[in-house]
Structure 1
Amino acid sequence: MLIGDFNAKVGSKQDEAETSVSYHGLGSRNERGDTLIDFAHHNKLYIMNTFFKKRNSKKWTWTSPDSKTKNAIDFIISNRKDVIKDVSVLNRFSIGSDHRIVRAEIKINIKKERTNMILKKNHKEWVAPENKDSYKECIASNLNYENTNTIDEIYENIKGATQTAIEKFCPKKVKEQKLNQRTELLMKQRRDMEDKSTQEYRTLNREIPKEIRKHRRQQNTEKIRNVIEKNQSLKVLRNSTMGRKEIQKIKDMHGNIVTHKQETYTLLNFSIKNFTHQNSRGSEPTSESYCRGAPRILRPVRPPGSPGPSAGPDVQQIRDLVVRV
């Protein structure tokens, strides 16, 4: 949890891709606010002041000496928004400062948190079983006690030998890149701009969320394809994909956007039935056989009596599978 004066104005949420802020901020956003939001987004943090609806008189945390300018620049930032139940600004105390006290109400299940800390997690082995002997031999060959006279020299000797073996037999896990190079380049270009009122700045504000959503869809599509090809379970699919848990809107065959939840599921079921029906008759599905937004990569259900493996539970429960597309 981060608490303090960040000297930044973050304003309110401007796009659905901004998960670190919500719609209840104060005022407009400045350059330092963009930097703070980018920092929170990369570190999976939430600026909790913006998540609770308050009157504007209960939002500002700093006032100018002439009391004409009031901004919210003191924030409570956390990586767990589920435990913070409220954030409020107190104006009943006179502390001799141009800032006001910011208070957060936190509710923690101590028993649950203690249990999670005590339980041992099932960590994977650092070294593959077939490399254990080579790992030990590498450490033994790099140890040299001839020129070690003090405890610090012995420690550095053991540390160097261990690090050499780790780099050779324990490759680091590559962290998934959540932002592609184009998105990072656009964000850097926006940060470097001095004039925030130009058309180019507004264009960047529209392009960056589009690139984030596009990259996220590509990642989820690739993960779904891998899960289907490996014939893995739905649990693996839910744990591997990211983003929204449900489809919020979809286009029908006439190009109209449908946002109602029940109508969205009806369109998906209709498109999937047409998709599988076309494949069961041996013909390729056309663009008119399913609405826009239905997945193109799903393996078709084989008709009864056809050669090849039968449809598994992933294909039978196709609605659950496409929920994360």
Structure 2
Amino acid sequence: MGDFNAKIGQGNEDCVGKFGRGERNERGDDLIDFAVAHDFKIMNTYFQKNENKRWSWRSPNHGTRNEIDYILADKHNIVRNVDVLNQVNVGSDHRMILENLEDQTSHENDLDNLNNNIIIPLKEAAKKFQDRRPSDNSKFSEETKNPMKKRRNLKPPSTVREKIEAAELNKTIQKKQRGDLRNRTTKTIEDVTQQDRGFKAAKRKLDQGKLQFTRVLQEDGSLTTNCDGMVKRAREYYHKLYSSERPRDHLRQRENQHLSHDFPEITACEVRLLIKQMKKGKAQAPDNITLDLITDGDEPVQVSLVTIQ
């Protein structure tokens, strides 16, 4: 699922259904190539909808509407419908995409049992040690969270007045968010200064949770850790990538090839690595299990997660 900024249109590729919308652009060709190479189906194009149920992006002046957000699936036989949600407003010019899947009860019962063996102990442990949890480390204050909550509950604006109010609310939220981030930065620097620590310590604390490049492989095989050198290497790489005139026919030839799905099983080491790379402080799933709980569960939880494949 993603905002691909691609227009698929009509096509005779195996990955495209009969109900593509608009004319295909260059990004549409790229998305087709990606889907063919990985044996995906672009599910939005397999279900017939009226015009108001197809577009997922609207220009600021409301004059242009395009379908540029898609759901790709390799197990397309379990997808029963793809629709556009018009009742959720998050202050974006995009609309959310909803996918309905077939209920595979027999298989899901086994997964539910495995899932409950992990979720129930985690919830019990969280309840037992909830008083020991650290204070809220959110970047935003309650004064900022309240209008954010109000925006989530707003219905899509239908009148000019409602559109103006929604735009003003977005401006207010952005202003408050910028102020909170500035205050957080200032407080972090003050705390580090009082502890007689340097600027690098403050920067490390502010950068916690961010994925940073510390070194980049040069074209000749050597490594560079210099910031300007890494930026230069990235610019060269992408310039070469997007200037390539390599034909795409070699990807389209894979349409009728059988792709093997005999993938190796996921290991506990891979699970640990993925958990370590995930950002903390994100919204919890419907089961109310946060990343903090999984991380605090350490190896027993991580090993248990391997069984759910």
TM-score normalised to structure 2 length: 0.36
TM-score normalised to structure 1 length: 0.35
Report which of the two has the higher share of helix. 2
